């Protein structure tokens, strides 16, 4: 197997040639504003290329092509592994964007860091990848309709029948979700067709709530309740 090669990409606004004492001063003529996406890119290769532009680190996967036969077994294994459900939203150039994700996980408490992955071949994912901040809505079973809407491409989102608002910081918040985390990206790692995020949680909106957790298992949404508990109540 070929040796793995990690290619580091310069971060937005970061100059890898800068000395340890700080970046060199730039004259107004030298200051160049990096272009940002002005519209949702088409799904497929255009979206993947757009998302790759913001990656801080790329892990080439060409040497893993001989593992393609493992894919179906891998998918089946994780289909039996239940996961929590979240909706990630951000403000795009043409309005709010968002998608349902089952990959959100806690990475660290001090400092508060979460992780998740996006399939970069989707148009909305490319816009989320470029966002300077976003909201992670942790869903309860009562948010099932929201989970379905944001999981299906082309489904209506952010309409009049879906209460939401822009925060003062610019992100679109879904008002019917009790627990919402505001986060800023720390690292975006391109791995195959996906982008893997680490993000710092800078604010927690709402409260713990009393809702029934929503989980995704075997390609279906489920709820957890007291009857599903195997341990006696503490």
Residue-wise pLDDT for 27-36, tens only, equals: 444 433 344 5
Report whether the peptide linkage leading into residue 104 is cis, meaning its omega lies within 30 degrees of zero.
no
Higher pLDDT, residue 66 or 202:
202
CA dihedral over 38, 127, 121, 139, signed as positive or negative: negative
pLDDT at 36: 59
Residue range 110-139: mean pLDDT, rounded: 87
Q: Which position has the token pair 């999981």?
A: 151
pLDDT at 63: 75
Confirm if 191 and 59 have CB atoms less than 8 A apart.
yes
40-49, 98-107, 115-124 — which is least confidently predicted?
A: 40-49
pLDDT at 180: 96
> Across the chain, how many H-helices and E-strands are there?
4, 14
The DSSP element (H or E) to which 179 belongs, if any, is strand 179-191
- Average of per-residue pLDDT values in the chain: 78
pLDDT at 187: 92
Higher pLDDT, residue 13 or 37:
37
């Amino acid at each position: 197997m070929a040796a793995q090669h990690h290619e580091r990409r310069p971060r937005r606004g970061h100059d890898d040639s800068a000395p340890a004492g700080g970046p060199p001063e730039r004259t107004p003529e030298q200051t160049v504003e990096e272009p940002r996406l002005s519209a949702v890119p088409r799904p497929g290769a255009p979206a993947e290329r757009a998302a790759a532009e913001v990656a801080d680190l790329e892990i080439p996967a060409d040497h893993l092509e001989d593992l393609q036969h493992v894919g179906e077994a891998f998918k089946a294994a994780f289909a039996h592994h239940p996961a929590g459900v979240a909706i990630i939203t951000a403000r795009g150039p043409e309005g709010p964007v968002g998608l349902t994700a089952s990959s959100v996980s806690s990475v660290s408490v001090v400092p508060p860091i979460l992780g998740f992955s996006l399939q970069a071949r989707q148009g909305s994912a490319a816009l989320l990848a470029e966002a300077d901040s976003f909201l992670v809505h942790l869903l309860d079973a009562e948010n099932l309709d929201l989970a379905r809407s944001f999981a299906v491409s082309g489904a209506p989102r952010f309409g009049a029948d879906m209460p939401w608002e822009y925060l003062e910081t610019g992100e679109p918040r879904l008002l019917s979700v009790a627990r919402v985390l505001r986060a800023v990206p720390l690292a975006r790692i391109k791995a195959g067709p996906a982008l893997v995020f680490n993000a710092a949680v800078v604010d927690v909106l709402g409260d713990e709530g009393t809702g029934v957790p929503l989980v995704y298992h075997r390609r279906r949404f489920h709820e957890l309740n007291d009857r599903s508990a195997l341990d006696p109540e503490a």
